[in-house]
Structure 1
Amino acid sequence: MFRRRAYEKLLSWKANSKGSRALLLEGARRTGKSTLARAFAENEYAGHLIIDFSEASEDIKDLFRMYRSDVDSFFMYLQAYTGARLPRRDSLIVFDEVQRFPPAREFVKQLVADGRYDYLETGSLVSIRRNVEGIVIPSEESPLRLNPLGFEEFLWACGEDALADLIRSSTEELSPLPAPLHRKAERLFREYMLVGGMPQAVSEYLEARDFGRVDAVKRDILSLYRNDIAKFGGTDATRIARVFSTLPGQLAKHDRKFRLVSLDANARGRDYADAFFWLSDAFITSTCLNATDPSVGLAATADESSFKCYMGDTGLLVSHLFADNEETPHEVYRDILLGKLEVNEGMFTENAVAQQLVCNGRNLYFYSKRDDRDWSNTMEIDFLVTRGYDDAAGRMRVSPIEVKSTKRYGARSLDKFKDKFGSRVGTRYILHPRPMEVSGDMAKLPLYASMVL
């Protein structure tokens, strides 16, 4: 199993909850939830039991149906059926793929109240209405999102733990890496953009170092997502599929903003709202909202009618762009790896930065304003985050982030943003394919530094 940030969060949950709350490990399909849950159970508990509801027998399911009011009998029969030995207060029961059997999720309330074991649930699409219909979601359940591997986790998987630590300290201290390490980190970030963070794709790449084989893995995952849309999308399945299929084209636009008219000349926001919610709720995509009057509480002025929609994994986006081809042309992988791809590279770098921000637990916001009467008010800022600002005694300020895929660019939007919002603005960031440069409140960071923001 790859080293994952979420493992530390599982350890914290175990230490702090002491059985008082179950944990729901949720995320997109194939992000490694079951693998992580199994490793955690085996490493951290004297006893464990994993019930996979994608293959559980009806006899096991009947226990959940028949003994809801008799927890003692439930555990007696459960251990008899499974042969598991579960020491009290040192055992973990995992409900894997819990969305396939909602009564088990509802039963968590009584199981937690009983207190003898810890409970970890894993599931995809678990919060979509169809999968919780007719049950009461337990209030004793805390969610933990498992994303595809971020760049830091990708470095760990590559055995580059020391480099990951250096990138983190370099970014936090605004101290450039030595040139050889910078070049190495830049090369690895380009590899990461192509491979992405889906564990199967990363594993295949580390084993074979063959982008063709990695592409085949990613295409299988994309097919799985399309099948999920058809199977679980219900009455919105057609709209969901339409949004999903057009994502690469939307991100190829200069400003990346999603335009409904590209789906249907008569498309309206309310008609497609559930489709976007479905994809976001399944963690297949990440929605980025326009904060029209940005301050520390970015959500307060978010305009849900103006948004960008990123793929949850950049490696999948690369393969999704060429979905009409039998395979992604190897020239695309070569040119991105060598930094020679002129067309569409901006969409990959911006998506990769969005992926790092999500991995760091951030909701996504951007700033966009067009004013035909006063050009000074027209600007596009790729991302907004809130961070402590040294010149404000460490208090939180809004930091605008511009993502550049080429070495030649301008920074007028960042200057306009500072002029317009003044004291609300903290450090301004440019993420570019060059070494670090810092001047005043402007920090130009290598793209790989996005893993720290």
Structure 2
Amino acid sequence: MLRRKITTFLEQWRANKHQECLLIKGARQVGKSYAVERFGERAYQHFIKIDFILEPGLREVFEGSIDADSIFRRISLIKEDARFVPGETLLFLDEIQECPLARTALKYLALDDRIDVIASGSLLGIEFKEEQTSIPVGYERQVEMHPLDFEEFLWARGYDAQTLDGLREYAVDLAQVPNVVHEHMMGLLREYLAVGGMPDVVQQFVDSQSFAVAHEVQRAILASYEDDIARYATASERVKARACYRSLPRQLAKENTKFQYSVVEKRASARKFEGSVDWLEGARMVLRCRALSTAAFPLKSYEQNDRFRLYANDTGLLMGMHDFTMMAPVVNNTLKGPMKGGLYENLVACMLSARDYPLRFWRNDRGDREIEFLLDGADTTVVPIEVKAGRGSTVSLNEFLDRDDVHVGYKFLDGNVGRVGKKVSLPLYLLPFVNLCTLPPAMTAEERRAD
């Protein structure tokens, strides 16, 4: 059974909520249903689940009057073991995008507040063919669920929280990781790079210790994603969305990983394909990293919608888009060429997204300086992040760190911990353990001593 961070969030939500339903959003097969089911069965006396894909007839429960008593009565007539006990019943509405009326009903279930209600949906960011009903603004708390991050992957591999707290200390203190530990952790990171964080892939890999098995499950998930495109995209977008999605390996194998429509189709234009990219982003199948016209706080003010990069929502699925022969070079660290850089860039994008950091990059007008990721920092600063899969130069980061509005910059690489002035170098496996928007505690303590 995989341990997920969202379980802690669910426990806190239950303890603190007031007239509020919870909506869990996320891509298909990231573990939303499994997490809620385990939580509901463990934390409540009564757990009721409605899956609007497996039980399409239950959409009728939300037709007509949608006050809480009417909904409870209809569910009780269909599910004879359903019990609605105040404070001890969890109602789980899975795949709620299939029943817009149920989404509207969340307001009235929240106002009633006798039972807890959690909904989940995989395709809530796309426009459906039918007209959407009203959204329960003010009565619905939303949370995004992602594939397993690297820390969760380590839990699945048998590492406990105490062990990982010891790893976190190296990032806090900016202390060198013992070489034997560093090499072992880099091996695990490359394993995660190859397997990814889709729960079914991780579980089957842990059980079988077979990258071939993991690759088969990755391919099965990719096939289900393409089935979703065929089912939910409009007729005019299906072929184009599939073509954009399948172009990801080629987009990331370029020296410049900016998304180019000409890679999807020769002489293609944004006018033809931009709606398809929007659809993929709305379905959470891809992560969009927007270009910045100016690298200044607040970064959102300088986003450019027409220049961006696209990453797979999971590095394992990006691996699944390649032949199985890609696995060994990644795991053994013998992969070379631009694809290695693109793969590690995708990894960092997933790691940042899992922590809900917006994805943005900056490239100067001449095109000879680039920062892979930029974050808003504390006190109107910006935080540059550079990703190095090998021993490449850091000219762009070094020049960027000369700015007064930059107090710290990060270089994530396969090497050990280091620091030169404002530049902090960290192994890629430490990224989940660092608060990137503030100065590392070791640097803060140093400033206090200087004062």
Do they superpose with TM above 0.5? yes
Question: What does 1:221-260 align with in structure 2 at a 5 Å threshold?
Answer: 221-234=221-234, 235-260=236-261
Amino acid corresponding to residue 334 of structure 1 in structure 2: A
Amino acid corresponding to residue 151 of structure 2 in structure 1: E
- The number of residues matched between the two structures is 429
> How far is 1:203 from its partner?
0.4
In structure 1, list runs of 5 or more residues that go unmatched: 323-327, 373-377, 389-394
CA distance 1:302–1:208, shift in 2 (3 Å): same
Amino acid corresponding to residue 400 of structure 1 in structure 2: P
Once the two structures are overlaid, the 10-residue window that deviates more, 141-150 or 172-181, is 172-181
CA deviation map 1:96-143 (0-9, x unaligned): 111222221121122212221111001110231107724112112121
Q: 2-side partners of 1:305 and 1:223: how far apart?
A: 29
- Check the 8 A contact 1:31/1:199 in 2, yes or no: yes
1:398 aligned to 2:392?
A: no
Q: CA RMSD in A?
A: 1.8
Q: 1-side partners of 2:87 and 2:93: how far apart?
A: 17
Aligned counterpart in structure 1 of residue 98 of structure 2, from 97, 100, 124: 100
Amino acid corresponding to residue 358 of structure 1 in structure 2: S
Q: TM-score, normalised by structure 1?
A: 0.90
- Check the 8 A contact 2:21/2:109 in 1, yes or no: no
Aligned to 1:342: 336
1:174 aligned to 2:157?
A: no
> How far is 1:12 from its partner?
2.2
1:447 aligned to 2:444?
A: no
CA deviation map 1:377-435 (0-9, x unaligned): x30111112334xxxxxx352121111111x221111122234xx11112111111111
Question: What does 1:420-439 align with in structure 2 at a 5 Å threshold?
Answer: 422-439=403-420
> How far is 1:198 from its partner?
0.2
**SS at 1:321 equivalent:** coil
Aligned to 1:369: 364
Q: TM-score, normalised by structure 2?
A: 0.91
Amino acid corresponding to residue 87 of structure 2 in structure 1: R
Amino acid corresponding to residue 22 of structure 1 in structure 2: C
- Check the 8 A contact 1:126/1:132 in 2, yes or no: no
In structure 2, list runs of 5 or more residues that go unmatched: 437-451
Q: 2-side partners of 1:436 and 1:243: how far apart?
A: 38
- Check the 8 A contact 1:64/1:74 in 2, yes or no: yes
Aligned to 1:75: 72
Amino acid corresponding to residue 26 of structure 2 in structure 1: G
CA distance 1:163–1:271, shift in 2 (3 Å): farther
1:142 aligned to 2:123?
A: no
> How far is 1:266 from its partner?
4.2
- Check the 8 A contact 1:125/1:131 in 2, yes or no: no
Aligned to 1:351: 346
Q: 1-side partners of 2:9 and 2:156: how far apart?
A: 19
Q: 1-side partners of 2:273 and 2:173: how far apart?
A: 44
Aligned to 1:305: 306
CA distance 1:36–1:226, shift in 2 (3 Å): same
Q: 2-side partners of 1:132 and 1:223: how far apart?
A: 25
Question: What does 1:264-279 align with in structure 2 at a 5 Å threshold?
Answer: 264-279=265-280
**SS at 1:86 equivalent:** coil
Aligned to 2:86: 88
1:316 aligned to 2:317?
A: yes
- Check the 8 A contact 1:48/1:86 in 2, yes or no: no
- Check the 8 A contact 1:401/1:430 in 2, yes or no: yes
**SS at 1:335 equivalent:** helix
* Identical-residue share of aligned pairs (%): 32
CA distance 1:131–1:15, shift in 2 (3 Å): farther
CA deviation map 1:41-66 (0-9, x unaligned): 112222221111122263x4333213
CA distance 1:199–1:75, shift in 2 (3 Å): same
- Check the 8 A contact 2:194/2:316 in 1, yes or no: yes
**SS at 2:63 equivalent:** helix
CA distance 1:132–1:288, shift in 2 (3 Å): farther
Question: What does 1:410-425 align with in structure 2 at a 5 Å threshold?
Answer: 410-419=393-402, 422-425=403-406
Q: 2-side partners of 1:286 and 1:127: how far apart?
A: 13
> How far is 1:345 from its partner?
1.5
CA deviation map 1:283-325 (0-9, x unaligned): 1110001122122311110111211101000011012133xxx
